[in-house]
Structure 1
């Protein structure tokens, strides 16, 4: 009886994994946080964190921040430290542009 139950559970699990794909992570599995490597200089550091060029305006900085914070926010499986870095980079660049 136990043997039949174990076989039924295994078949159900295999079917579920085949339906949802073998290579994708299970739902609810936290994503690994991206690793940021800071370059030299405070301005270059902030631009590298957000991934914007030296001629980026306030709208481009805000758009890059929104795009990046969606993946590194702690509510989405990211780390609080990366969130702080992204927010600090945005604040520094917006302060420099005067907006």
Structure 2
């Protein structure tokens, strides 16, 4: 009897796990931009070359909400997004 219950629990858990699917991962962010690498910084934030300061700040805010450690992200991703913002805002 106990064996049947354990099998039922295992089957139910496996079905639930398969239904949920794998954990959602954050979007892959390219390497941290170095001094003056505008193209890498634009790629991290996903903004075009002619993006204004307002567009850069909006893209940064949107990404930081997704990758911040308080929202399930990591400190490394947060550091890369902040570095990209800094590189692009120094240009303006």
Tell me which residue corresponds to 2:69: 74
- Specify every segment of 5 or more residues in structure 1 that has no aligned partner in the other structure, as ranges: none
How far 1:83 sits from its partner (Å)? 0.9
Tell me which residue corresponds to 2:43: 48
Tell me which residue corresponds to 1:34: 28
How many residue pairs get aligned? The number is 91
CA distance in 2, matches of 1:74, 1:39: 20
Which segment drifts farther, 6-15 or 83-92?
6-15
How far 1:49 sits from its partner (Å)? 1.6
TM-score by length of 2: 0.69
- Pairwise CA RMSD of aligned residues? 2.9
1:3 equivalent to 2:34? Answer no
- Specify every segment of 5 or more residues in structure 2 that has no aligned partner in the other structure, as ranges: none
CA distance in 1, matches of 2:52, 2:45: 12
CA contact (8 A) 2:60 2:82 kept: yes
Indicate which of 74, 83, 92 corresponds to 2:87.
92
| CA separation of 1:71 and 1:57: change in aligned 2, threshold 3 A | same
CA distance in 1, matches of 2:63, 2:11: 40
CA contact (8 A) 2:32 2:84 kept: no
| CA separation of 1:94 and 1:38: change in aligned 2, threshold 3 A | closer
